[in-house]
Structure formats: structure tokens, C-alpha cells
Amino acid sequence: MVASAWTKHIDCEGGTLNSKVLDGGGGINLFSSTFTLTTYSRDQVATGSQSCKMGITSGTDGWGNFGAISTFPSKIASGSEVWVRVSLFLPTGFNVSTNTGMLKFLRVHTASSSGGNEGYHDLLIAKPGATFWGADGKEYTASYISNYEGGGYPVGVGTRPANDAVLGKWESYEMYVNFDPVSKDAGGKGEVRIWKNNQLLLDRTNNGTLRSASSVSDSFYLFTYWNGNAPATQSLYVDDIILTSERPANRDAKGNPFIGGSTVVTEIRPNPPTNVAIQ
């Protein structure tokens, strides 16, 4: 079980404008490793006065440059849970194309008890028109893809075009993982949920979420790798990154615990922020 429940809130405030976002230093509300093109910005802001701008260079895979990593304050073992929530702004014209048609976005890492990599729980942003193969061998389209690299098969999240990522607006995304090598459908606890703008888009209960009973989850990766290299030099913005192993008090429309909260739906720039939020 988790040694003690914890919460991290990385709000992108307090750092020097246009400088690399702070990391490490023992601060619980900092990224553990911030990549080189992740900087404090006021170009677009969800809440407060700053966001974290994440850039990538055309023709690169982004590793070490695009995104950030947050190590969990304590590892999460089988039978325990984690929630991660991020506000995202994709500027108009942002190109999410990859060689798979899917851009890695939210990534919850799993590992063996000795620290060996056992794959990520990925939420990927699908390029409009991109397809994936389901367990039945059929080809599908979706707004996003949920995939556990440690086992199982990818599943679609959200229907096109209603749930597609909207360019030029802040949107919120949340992932929940209950860790267990046995799926909920098979009598275990393994389960993954995905919300967008507080709407539940996926509740997957037919796949284990760890490779073994001794496996753990130890960190959260935000972007970090672009399959097939980026098609353009471009940037996006994130804000209010919340990670927690403590069950939130909020409940979604179906009664599931989730971080939830305000969803920024529009903003006017370059004037002072005018945030319009819904609960």
C-alpha cells in the first residue's frame, strides 16, 4: 500500500518569466525533471498569472526538451490509486501528427519492484482521421487513445469530432488508475478512467494495470517523447498540474471520485486574463 497519501500541485507560478521551469530541490510542488524547452510564460494562462510553456523543435523526438517528469513522493503499489489532472492549451495551428497518428500526452509510469521499466499508462491525442486496431482486429477512430504499454490493447477515448481536442482554448484532462495486475472484471481492482472537461469518457475495467503483484507506479511523465519526430517547431501550454494518491472529495456525474474543479473554456489575450469557468 502507499506509505502515506500525498498530493502535488504544480501551478507554474513564482518562477522568472521565460526562464526554464524550476525542478527538483526537494520541493514537493515542483517537477522532478523539467526539460529544456519548458519555460514560464504569460502567453496563455489558465489560472494565476503564469503557465508552463512546452516547446519542441522540428525533426526531433523531444526527449530532454519537450515536457517534464514528476516523481511520486512515495511509490504506489498494487491495491492503491492515483489521479492526475492537467489543464492544456493547444494553440491554433498546433500539429499533433506523429508516425503512429497519436501524440503521447499523460503518461503514468509503472516499474518492477527493482525499478525496471514496465511501461506507461498513456493517454494519447489522436490526429483527426488517425486509426488504431482494436482487440477484435478491426480498425477504429477516436479522439484519444488509452493504452497500457505493460499489457493489453489500446482502446478509443471519446468520439470524433465531438470530443476532439479543441485548438485555441484551455481544456482539462484527468486520468485515474487503480493498480492491480488483475482487472476489475476478473475480480481484481485494475481500472482506468479518463475525463475531459469533467466529462467521463472512459471507464476501462477489463485490463490489468500492473504486470505483477510486486510492481509499482513511481512517476508521471507529461509529453516527453514525440514518436517519429515533431513535424514543426511549436509550443503548447499547461497549467494546474495536480497529482494525488489521496481519494478526492469531488464526485463526477456517475459518483466516481475525481479531482474535478473549474474548467477554463476561453480566455482573451494579450489583455489581462479573462477566464470564464464552469464547475
Cβ within 8 Å of residue 264, ≥6 positions away:
46, 47, 87, 169, 170, 171, 172, 275, 276, 277
Q: Rounded mean pLDDT of 143-161?
A: 95
pLDDT per residue over 237-267, tens digit each?
999 999 999 999 999 999 999 999 877 654 4
Bigger pLDDT: 171 or 129?
A: 171
Percent of the chain with pLDDT over 90: 85
pLDDT of residue 267: 44
pLDDT per residue over 65-104, tens digit each?
999 999 999 999 999 999 999 999 999 999 999 999 999 9
Write the DSSP string, the chain: --SS--EEEE---SSPTTSBPPB-TT-TTSBSEE-TTEEEE-SS-SSSS-EEEEEE-TTS--TTTSEEEEEEEEEEETT-EEEEEEEEEB-TT-----SSSEEEEEEEEEE-TTS-EEEEEEEEEEPTT--EE-TTS-EE--SEEEEETTSS--EEES-TTTTSPPBTSEEEEEEEEE--SSBTTTTS-BEEEEEETTEEEEEE-SS-SSSSTT-EEEEEEEE---TT--SS-EEEEEEEEEEESSPPS-B-TTS-B-----EEEE---SSSP--EEE-
pLDDT of residue 25: 67
Q: Binning pLDDT at 50, 70 and 90, where does residue 26 land?
A: low
Q: Binning pLDDT at 50, 70 and 90, where does residue 269 land?
A: very low
User: Do the Cβ atoms of 170 and 161 come closer than 8 Å?
Assistant: no
pLDDT of residue 264: 62
pLDDT per residue over 183-238, tens digit each?
999 999 999 999 999 999 999 999 999 999 999 999 999 999 999 999 999 999 99
Question: Yes or no: is domain 7-278 CATH 2.60.120.200?
Answer: yes
The reported pTM is 0.92
Q: Is the pLDDT of residue 276 over 60?
A: no
Domain boundaries, the chain: 7-278
Q: Is the pLDDT of residue 112 over 50?
A: yes
Q: Binning pLDDT at 50, 70 and 90, where does residue 135 land?
A: confident
pLDDT of residue 3: 55
Sign of the alpha-carbon dihedral angle for 173, 273, 30, 28: negative
pLDDT per residue over 45-59, tens digit each?
999 999 999 999 999
